[in-house]
Chain A
Amino acid sequence: MTAKTLAVFRKEITDTLRDGRTIFAIFVFPFLLYPAMLTLMSWIESKNDEDAKLLAVRVGIVGEAEVPGLREWIAAVPGATPVALDRAPETLQDAKVDAAFVVPSGVEGAIARGDSVVVELLYKDADNTSSAAAQRVRPILDDIERSLTLSWARANGAKAEASAPIRVSRHDISSKTDKGRFFAALLIPYLLVFMVAAGAMQTAVDATTGEKERSTLETLLSTAASRGELVMGKALAVLATSITGAVTGITGLWLTFNVVARAVPGMEEGSLQIAITPDKAVLLFLTLLPTAVFLSAVLVAIGCFARSMREGQTYASYVYMGSVFLGLGSFGQQAPSMRQFMIPILNTALLQREILTDTVVPLHAVTAIGVTAAIAVLMLVVATRLFSNEAVLFRT
């Protein structure tokens, strides 16, 4: 790095640190937004749970006589009122119920013939009341199944008085640490790449298009610094801002789940133990660097090309949306293909997930870092070319 590049870097960082919007976005926002979001979400969730418990629901029954005891089972659910229906309702609203069990007629005969019997629970997931009603009466489906199984056994000659006391249940045995690791592997790679893009946007546009809009560009271009030195200084400042943005963002998230969630009464359930060991933190940082350089170079190139701050911010927002889209691509990828490790941003998110879950494939790492680093260098060359092209710099 030359002394002139360093001078540009220092000037851009000073400029950035005195810009209230950037300071708020990088240093204040992550420590306010995430705790606020968690508090709000926890409050909404606990309020919904309380409301759901108090909610009175009407549950329709079609074919009540086919399953002895069905009405009583429903009536035993707190807040649920069984309502007999003649036939399966076309809409729950028409039948004035929130959910409905539909048992086909002639169950006994069907069982005796060995035909299958389908019992349905009708509800609307898109309707909060209906969804809550279904959630509360869903265990009754097990009771119905046991009752019908008993009928089937009797029809086949078994002398059964009651169904076998077999109950299948599910228990999530994940510890908070396991959950935290899963959550970290899912979200952190995505958050890191989009925070890098978000952190770089303002500084990149301000350092490039801002020079045009503030009419400081000519002065800068007439100095002894070469165009390459100027672009490198600006790109380094953008890189520093973007990485700082990502680090403060992740720190804000960690504080929210590890500290705020535990400290605030009633939010303990929302707490997670997101523990990233120092070696993993270093690896995450190292894998993030090429992507940060790539995004910084892209944003600087775009800033050189844009005619005004508005145009620059519009283009930068496209880059941001693209980053979010590619970052989201890492969700639900159980066995990503080699081709996916050749796509910048997506490859970093996938590689970071492998790091967090201790499943790093060396070839994936080499490909992801190599491809991103190569494209990052290419984008820096493009940015320098654009900054040296008077037709681009002075286009109107």
Chain B
Amino acid sequence: MSEQVSARKKEKIYDPRRYRSNMPNPACAGCGSPIVCGMIMSALEELDVIDKAIVVVGVGCTGMAFFGTKIDMAFCAHGSSPSVAAGIKHANYDDAIVFTIQGDGDCAAIGAGYLVNSAARADKITVFMCNNVNYGTTGGQMAPTTLLDQVTTTTPGGRDSQSHGFPLHVPEMLSTIQGVSYSARGSVSSAANYQRTKKYAKRAIQKQIDGEGLGFLEVLSACPVNWHMTPGDAAKWIDDTVMKEYPLGEFTNGQTRK
């Protein structure tokens, strides 16, 4: 490694504010989404593709932290991010790193059709889904990922499988689709989980750099305000309870069939 390159890398690693504007952080205390934003930004820097990066932000709190980043961004209709990202990728004739940042409602409820078909088409994009097991922006309603018996504002007696359906396991589902090159679930509930999940994020983006089909990473993310917990309790609840339903790990890590 030349001195110049090494100096560049150091500069990137040690200056996390380089690509951040002075816009205030819009998230509630203890929210996981700004952590995910920072994780993706540093993954893009370390892979040296941040100058080619374009983020597609879906409707919800999840992507709002990206409003304060200095990269190209599109904010589109609820759920449609994978199609918008694919359109951007085609328009740049593949010479761009295009990723989406979506919530579990955006990605797995209203956007499930877009996501599954984008995956089947092996679109050359990366999808990041923050899973906080409820609808954060609208005030804590049931999401497709809400746990059984979990109380939300639209499941006041707890989620009942026969009335409200079952929790949806998105990366497991995507791992059955041939167009998907990478599918994993991580968490930002602790420093150790963060480091592990950042590795997943880099692998997911690397697939796009290599021209492989859709890469997907779900990140378990806290929503203390709507869970009515302190940030500390929320992180503990992810580790103790949410992970029982949603185990961390990689479900697909390979090449899409040509």
A and B are interacting partners: no
Residues of B within 8 A of A (CB): none
Residues of A within 8 A of B (CB): none
